[in-house]
Amino acid sequence: MRTKMILWPTDFSETASHALKYAIEMANLYQVGIRILHVVDQPLGDENYMILAITPDELANSMEKNAADKMRELLAGLKTDLSVETITRRGDAIEEIVAEANGGDIGMVVIASHGRTGIAHFLYDNVAESVANRAQCPVLVVK
């Protein structure tokens, strides 16, 4: 842990921004870098039915461009001397975050929990819970 990077997955939400403070604190404590990961969902559509005015790939490319813009804004406002890497991937958030966490050079994941309860907890995938259960490194879940 002490020589490996901190992984901070983000969806650019307020809750995720709160978790970034913890990621920076942990990275400063261990004098390691931070890897920021944003996952763009792969849009589904069937061009044969003409449901989408653009193709799923065009939509995903637009989403990736938007994520890159948000990542640049985030980095511009980040005041730290730590090494910071950014990654944007396309796919399922849980699968991509777990793959990155288990890739070998991550010592800890700091991830936000949106704190859904009741029916919402059952309707939506709980990304933080799934990552905590499947990652091979320690996971700090921030509310």
What average pLDDT does range 130-138 have in this prediction?
A: 95
pLDDT at 115 (0 to 100): 56
Domain that holds residue 24: 5-142
Report the pLDDT value the prediction gives residue 124, as an integer from 0 to 100: 52
Tell me what percent of the residues of the chain surpass a pLDDT of 90: 49
pLDDT digits (tens, 9 = 90+) for 2-54: 789 999 999 998 889 899 999 999 999 999 999 999 998 876 655 555 555 66
* Token couple for 106: 């991550």
Read off the CATH number of the domain in which 119 is found.
Answer: 3.40.50.620
Non-local (6+) Cβ contacts of 7 within 8 A are 34, 35, 37, 97, 100, 101, 106, 108, 109, 110
The CA distances from residue 102 to 23, 88, 95, 137, in Å, are 17, 17, 11, 7
Domain total in the chain = 1
- In this prediction, residue 78 carries a pLDDT of 77
Is residue 1 within 8 Å of 51, Cβ to Cβ?
no
Average model confidence (pLDDT) across the chain: 84
Six token digits for residue 108: 């800890």
92-103 pLDDT per residue, tens? 999 999 999 999
pLDDT at residue 125 in the model? 64
The alpha-helical segments, DSSP class H, found in the chain are 14-30, 56-77, 93-101, 118-123, 127-134
pTM over 0.85: no
Cα separation, 57 vs 45, whole angstroms: 10
Q: Indicate the SS3 state at residue 109.
A: strand
